[in-house]
Every structure is written in C-alpha cells, then in structure tokens.
Chain A
Amino acid sequence: MPNSATAGAFLLILAIVLPVSGVLLSLVLGGRHAERIALILMPAGLAVALTIAAAVWRTHNVLQYFVGNWSPPLGVAFRADGLSAAMMVTAAVLICGIGLFARGQFPSPQQSELRAPLVFWTLLPAVWGALNAVFIGGDLFNLYVALELLTFAAVPLVSLDGRAETLAAALRYLLFALLGSILYLLGAVLLYGAYGTLDIVLLSGHIQAGPIAWAAISLMTTGLLAKAALYPFHLWLPPAHAGAPAPASAILSGLVVKAPFFLVIRLWFDIMPRMPEPAAAQVLGILGAAAILVGSVVALRQVRLKLLIAYSTVAQIGYLFLMFPLAIKPEMGDPWNTTAWTGGVLQAISHAFAKAAMFMAAGLIAEALGHDRIAGLSGIGRALPITVFAFALGGVSLMGLPPSGGFVAKAMLLTAAVAEGQWWWAVVVLVGGLLAGGYVFLVLARALADASQPLTLLSPISPSRQGVVVALAVCAVLLGFIPLRPLELLQIGRPDIAVGGIR
C-alpha cells in the first residue's frame, strides 16, 4: 500500500464534510430549511459515493487520505477499499430513497417550526456522515468516535414521536450502544498499549497472536455485537426499530446495524488476517445461527407488522455472522474463503435494501389503516397493490428465493458450507429461509385476502411514495442479477492471502 495520499482522496473528506456541514447549516438556519438542505445534499452525496466507487474500481487500488498530511502512526488515515465503496454507495442510494419517502411523512411547516420534521431532517445527514466515517475510517479511535456519532444520531430517531414507550426503547438502545462502544474502546486501548498504533494497516503488520491481542479483539468484538444486536444482545432492537416512524426504522434496520458488522469484518479480516482462529469464528457462527432460529420463530408469533419485520431483522443479522466460520479456514496456509466472505457482505447489502423497503411499506400500510395489526390487514392488497407488491419483493430477498440479492448471498454461504464440509451451517441457512418464507407468507396471505367489509383508508397514499418503496425493493431483487464480475470490487484492498475465486 502506498505510504502517501492517493489522487482523488479529497473525495473521502467530502463524503464526511458534506453531510456534517448540512447538519450544522440546518441548526443555524432553523427547522424550515432543514428539509431543503437535506434534499440538496442527497444527490451531491450520492455523486460523491459513486465517484469514490468508480475511482476505486478504475485504479483497482485503495483510496487513501491523511488528515493534515500527517501519515500514521502519528496522523489519522481515511481509506476506501472496495468494501467501503460498496457500503457507501448502498448507504447513499438508501438515504436518497428514504429521504424522498420521508417528504410525505415529515413535511416542514411553512410558518412555524415542528420538532419531529426538524429533528428528522437534521439527523438524516448526521447518520449519513457518521456512516461514511465508519466506512472509510482507518484508525481505531477515529472509528470509535464515528460509532458514537452514529449512535447519537440514531437514538433520537427512535423517539421522534415522543411517546413514553419509544422513549424507553431509545434509552434502552442507548444503554446497549454505550456498553458496546466502551468495550470497543477498552480493546482499542489494549491494542495501543501493546503495539503503539491504532492505524488498521500498521496494526495488521504488527499484531501477533497472544493474550493481549485476543483479549483486545474479544472485547472489541463483544462490544460491536451489542451494537449490531446479534443474539443474545438483540433485546433492544425490536422495540426500538418497531417504535420508530417508518423512514427512521428503515435507516436503523437497513443501515445503522450494518456499521458495527462492518467493523467486525475490519477486525477479523483486515487487522488479524494472519491469525485465523476457527474456534472463535465458530462461536460467532453459533450466535448467528441462534439469531436466525430465535428471531424467525419469534417473528412468526408477532401480531403487529412492524414488530414482525423488526424480529426478522434480528434473524437476518444472524446470516451476516455465518460468514465468519465459513470464511476463516482452519488450515494455516489457506485461511480465507472468498465465496463465504462475499456472500456475507452481499447479504448485508441486499438486506439493507429489502428491509428498508419492507419497513416503509409497513409504514404506508399503517398510515392507510391507522394500525398495523396483521390480523386486520385483509383487503389491503386490493387497496394498496403497489405497496404490498414492494413488501413481497423484499420478502423474496429475505427468503432467499431466486432471483434476488438475498438468493445470491445465501447461495454463496450454502456453497461455502457444502464445499468445506460444514454442512450444519447449510441446514441453518435452509431452515432460516423456510421460517422467513413462513412469516412473509403469514403477512401476504392476510393482505391478499378479501376484506369482510369494504376497506376505508384513513388517508390517501401518494403514488410517488409507493414508487420509492417499490424502487428500493426492486434494487434488492436486481442485486441478484448482477453478474459476478462487479463483485470483484469487494476484493479490492483485501490482503493478498484472500484465496479462492468466486464460484
């Protein structure tokens, strides 16, 4: 890796500075302008993310920027590899979609200033900036700050409507997140004490298997799991994600929980690629499998649509962690299975699109009916066909039916499981798919049934908002049509020891 900033690296700073200056401007100019500022930022931020991805793809190298031209270990580096670029584009597309959708839900009043729209339109770019900082951060302490910024931006989104139960959900979410980040910081401190640097690339060169490294990595991983809501740390997620307004739920479930997962990948594959620990990876896999089974079964028993979707998030997060036992191989010379790794990352991206679409579809249904009880959904399929179609498309990706992003991701995990003879993970993937089919069918069967009495919608739902939801759901499906070559983008900047082609 070159030890200097690369051309075009200022884009990385732009990816953070643009949203943050949007937040500051919104605070200064006041609530009525917040929406306009966010709407201006959306195409600009999307353009920056796409340019970064194009630059990484073209040069086949890592974009690198040193703040103030001080190179690590003294300075702070920002780096965008293929994985960062893919996650940044995902975040940018989703934020644009969610922003367009939210215009109908949080219209800024002409005269006065309303709390919910002001907070939403100010925090939308805040979440975006924090996400970008997580995706391109190259320094463990900087990543800690980015994670905390993300938490501070995400927690108020839970309690936008100020009801007592959402306040309690937000507080519980914050407490879990704080425990997670302080454990992460403790691990980072131990690493600094042992190796004298917090830079990811420098650390990966110095780190050696030993008690300090293991203690640090375990602490950091545990902290990140609490933030990613992996079973058994999932208790905070359903009330928080189900209680938030629909666009906020889409951000939280689609993007915010992916940031700690992204950092677990950084820890396990970038910082310590040369010290594979199959036993620890199996533990992550077992927690993931438990999340899939428990989350799916509890989702089947929900009576409210948004809670069902939230428990499905718990289950789908489990799939992400199946990539660790499958990608980290026991044989020393051959520690990395690219198929499983790519499958895990693709699952994160396709779940982001699918789950955002499903939460927003549920939000439209709740707006139209005034409730989101699954038992009372009869006839909604006739009243809001496009919305229900979007929900079904998202469900297709969750189940892993072809053709969808979820199918390709789960097929890759299955392939890796079978190829390595770890067939029990394959069983978990298949059972999880069946259970997902169960809870999606439960909703669709109700929604497509004829109503006993004619359905009266509380408020008309604008076609443009339904269009946005369908567009995001179609994105989740289209991911399954991507020929495998663009997936090479994900491999740019990975250590050389990543072996095994994408099959």
Chain B
Amino acid sequence: MSDAILYGLCGAVLVGLGLFGLIVHPQPLRKILAFNLIGGGVFLLFGVVARRGAAAGFGGDPVPHALIITGIVVAFAATALAIALLLRLFRETGRTTLGSDG
C-alpha cells in the first residue's frame, strides 16, 4: 500500500466518521465537532492530491497547500460563528439543544 493510498483512506475514514456524527448526534456542539472532523478529512485528501505534481518533476503541487490554508481559515471562522451562536442560545435558554427534532 503506497503512502498516498494510506493517507487517502485516512481522509475517507475521517469524512465518514464526521458525516456519521453530524447526522446521528442531536447536540449542536457534537455536530460542530463532526463538521471539523469532515473538514480534517477533506484537507487530508487535498494534501494527498498535491502529490500528483510530483510527476512533473516537482516535490509536490503547491496549489492545494495554499487552498488548504484558506480552507482551514474558513472552517475556523465557521466554527467560531457556530460556537458563538450556541453560547448565545445557552445564555438565552439555558439549553444546548435545538428543540425536540434537532
């Protein structure tokens, strides 16, 4: 098994775990964490994809690395916004769930 496949499989497992958590867990905080898990998996896959540039004589394709950094920033901002909303919800109602169906 080559390194690329190993990393790719790890990424896929992370995405799968995150997707499972996002759908199954009712608590928003767990959903937010699950979203970050999916994000980690996607960024890992993106990192593996960078190896394709190696064929052209480079050590790796730099474009995905730049995009991963941007993606991490976006995911961080999303997490911060979600946590801020959740904290505010907790302060208003004293609960951290989204009602009966959430």
Contact = CB atoms under 8 A, between A and B. Distances in A.
A74 B70 CA distance: 16
Given A168-B98, A178-B35, A162 B85 contact: no
A455 B41 CA distance: 59
B71 A168 contact: no
B70 A145 contact: yes
Nearest to B51: A193
Interface in A361-380: none
A235 to B, nearest CB: 8
A156 to B, nearest CB: 8
A179 B64 contact: no
B10 interface: no
B20 to A, nearest CB: 12
B88 A162 contact: yes
Interface in A5-56: none
A190 to B, nearest CB: 8
B60 to A, nearest CB: 13
Interface in A160-211: 162-164, 167-168, 170-172, 174-175, 178-179, 182, 185-186, 189-190, 192-193, 196
Given A141-B70, A182-B35, A189-B42, A168 B89 contact: yes
A397 interface: no
A458 B68 CA distance: 53
B70 A152 contact: no
B75 to A, nearest CB: 8
B22 to A, nearest CB: 6
Contact of A192 (B22, B39, B49): B49
Q: Which label, helix, strand, loop or mixed, suits the secondary structure of the B interface? A: helix
A23 B64 CA distance: 29
A193 B49 contact: yes
Contact of A178 (B67, B82, B93, B101): B82
A155 interface: yes
Interface in B28-65: 28, 31-32, 35, 38-39, 42, 45-46, 48-49, 52, 61, 63-64
Contacts of B82: 171, 174-175, 178
Contact of B49 (A168, A171, A189): A189
Q: Size range of the interface on A?
A: 20 to 34
Nearest to B28: A171
Interface in B15-32: 15, 22, 28, 31-32
Contact of B15 (A159, A162, A174, A186): A186
B35 A179 contact: yes
Contacts of A170: 85
A270 interface: no
Contacts of A182: 35, 38-39, 42, 75
Contacts of B81: 152, 155-156, 174
Contacts of A450: none
Q: Count chain B CB atoms within 10 A of each CB in A144, A155, A162, A174 and give the residue with the most.
A: A174
Interface of B: 15, 22, 28, 31-32, 35, 38-39, 42, 45-46, 48-49, 52, 61, 63-64, 67, 70-71, 74-75, 77-78, 81-82, 85-86, 88-89, 92-93, 98-99, 101-102
Interface of A: 74, 141, 144-145, 148, 151-152, 155-156, 159, 162-164, 167-168, 170-172, 174-175, 178-179, 182, 185-186, 189-190, 192-193, 196, 235
